[in-house]
Amino acid sequence: MIAGHSSDRGQVFPLYAMIVVGLLFAALAFFVFGQAALVRSDAQGAADAGALAAARQARDNLLPGLDLATLKPDEWQDILTGKSFDTAGACGAAEDFARRNDASATCSSSMRRFTVEVTTEGTVGASVVSGTQDMHGAAKAVAEVVPKCDLGDAPTPAATPGPAPTDPPSATPTVINCKGGKIIKFDPRKPDLWSALARSLFDVRLVG
């Protein structure tokens, strides 16, 4: 009887060892997948932030040479639809953001939309899963500058008796109607800074 129990224990031990090894491997593999998800999350965060940085850079800068105080209605309409943004430095802002966050980025733009693809410098690292030491995080994000205002009608000056001096056309306030009933009157005699005005005229958001 004693010899029989000893033989059973001898047969069970290898099976027990295999189960332990299998569970250990599964735990390590689960850890690797967790690390991979973390690296992927870092890449997505960098891509999202980079795309938003590009869109904000474009929104806050108009084409060189544009003087808000002298713009005509059709020129204002181009601005309000996003046709007058200076996008030259927008992708540079996204790529610079990625470099500062240990990643590389490629950026492309189309009108008011910016697409950023990011690859992390870091990898998942060596593990029980083959190839993870060369596995970088990669992600893509798209951000857009969204107009939220339209050109309104210029105010009609009140009638005054007798001849009175009138403002030249360039001094007539530009009326801008925005969502939510907000009205912005741009006075060319006291022009606001575009970087401040742009935040009222446009939203920046991730799309797709």
47 within some domain: yes
Domain that holds residue 90: 2-122+132-157+167-207
pLDDT confidence of residue 157: 45
For the chain of 208 residues, list the mean pLDDT of each consecutive stretch of 10.
53 62 54 64 89 95 88 90 90 90 89 92 56 71 95 55 50 88 89 87 92
85 within some domain: yes
pLDDT confidence of residue 158: 46
36 within some domain: yes
Q: Report pTM.
A: 0.72
Number of domains in the chain: 1
127 within some domain: no
Rounded Cα–Cα distance for residues 110 and 89 (Å) = 14
pLDDT confidence of residue 160: 47
Rounded Cα–Cα distance for residues 125 and 25 (Å) = 16
87 within some domain: yes
